[in-house]
Amino acid sequence: MKCPRCGEELRRSKKDPNYGLCDSCRKKYKWVDEYDEDDYEEDEDYIERKPIKRKASNTKHRSKHKKNNKIIIGSITLAVFVLLIICIVIFVKGKHKNSEEKLPAQHGEETQQTPSENIVPQSAGTNENADPEGIRQKLDVKAIPTVDGLVCVFITNNSDTVIDELEVQLNYKDDSGATIDMGKDGHDMVLPGSTVVSRMDAPESYTDFEILTTIELGVHPKYENHANDVIVNSNQGDQGIIVEIVNNSDVSLDEVEFIAVLYKGEQITTVKYPQDIYDVPAGQTITEKINLYTDDYDRFEIYLNQAHTFGL
């Protein structure tokens, strides 16, 4: 007869043969020769324990578990050791290969090296083969004195390269050709085909001036000029010029700079100070006013010097 709980054979009680005892469950059941599960009756008074048997069973289980752990740890250690050997072999082969590649050419072979000083950092729109002096020669620079004693400088980039830094300098001369004064202004990220304008102060009296320009390429890798995606609308207002800046790009512009040039007939009466607008959201239109209380003019032009994101 078996225990209905654990399935172990019941031990018939010597004291009362009408009951069977389960040493595993410590339960007493009524003994029947032909039985059904419903015939079993438990007797809670039987709590006989066999600690020695259970202890032996647990010790055997722990011994087996400990043995399995040793096998697993040994396997992992072996795998790590094999992997370490493979890494060392790969490293040695790679180092040997690099050493061979660095050996000087022999038996009539030629090596070609690019001097580091000839490598020009690239920025958006900069050709990897760009010649700075050749690009500078393609600048169209016109310096025109204004009626009010300034000089308005128009600079057009006729190259196909973005100019990261462009500086224009005017050296003012007297009758003898000596330099008596000078002025500088700069622009960055000048797009191909675009024109930027500088407002230059000038001495009260001078005979002529010399125009000098310098450029740098690849010095602002994070800067980007979005002027091609910006529309400038302007009209005559009540006491000045109303300027609308429409950001049609998909980014917020960190800084937008525009400048106004005023004309009277064919002469430039003055060039106003450049105006800056900061943080122009994508898709937004910003309206500004250029105050003109005493300026004498009959027409004007607005130039967009920059519409930058700086990537800082």
The 10s digit of each residue's pLDDT in 191-242 is 999 999 999 999 999 999 999 999 999 999 999 999 999 999 999 998 899 9
Residues in the chain: 312
The larger pLDDT score, comparing residue 116 to residue 268, is at 268
Check whether 128 has a pLDDT greater than 80.
no
Pick the CATH number of 222-312 from 1.10.3470, 3.40.50, 2.60.260, 2.60.40: 2.60.40
Residues above pLDDT 90, as percent of the chain: 55
The larger pLDDT score, comparing residue 183 to residue 106, is at 183
Check whether 92 has a pLDDT greater than 70.
no
The larger pLDDT score, comparing residue 15 to residue 261, is at 261
pLDDT for the residue numbered 26: 67
Q: Report residue 60's pLDDT band, with 50, 70 and 90 as the boundaries.
A: very low
pLDDT for the residue numbered 58: 47
What's the CA gap between 277 and 280, in Å, rounded?
A: 7
| Report field, pTM of the whole predicted structure over 0.85 | no
15 Rama class: left (phi>0) / alpha (psi -120 to 50) / beta: alpha
pLDDT for the residue numbered 75: 73
CB–CB of 154/278 below 8 Å?
Answer: no
Q: Range with the lowest mean pLDDT among 51-60, 88-97, 151-160, 247-256?
A: 51-60
The 10s digit of each residue's pLDDT in 152-162 is 999 999 999 99
Residues above pLDDT 70, as percent of the chain: 72
The larger pLDDT score, comparing residue 79 to residue 98, is at 79
Backbone phi, psi, residue 177, to 5°:
90, 0
Question: Helix, strand or coil for residue 79?
Answer: helix
pLDDT for the residue numbered 28: 72
Could you tell me the fold of the domain covering 125-221?
A: Immunoglobulin-like (2.60.40)
Mean pLDDT of the chain: 80
Question: Cβ contacts of residue 244 below 8 Å, gap of 6+?
Answer: 232, 233, 234, 285, 286, 287, 288
pLDDT for the residue numbered 250: 95
Check whether 103 has a pLDDT greater than 50.
no
The larger pLDDT score, comparing residue 170 to residue 124, is at 170
pLDDT for the residue numbered 66: 52
Delimit the domains of the chain by residue range: 11-49, 125-221, 222-312
The larger pLDDT score, comparing residue 185 to residue 38, is at 185
Check whether 101 has a pLDDT greater than 50.
no
CA-based end-to-end distance of the chain: 85
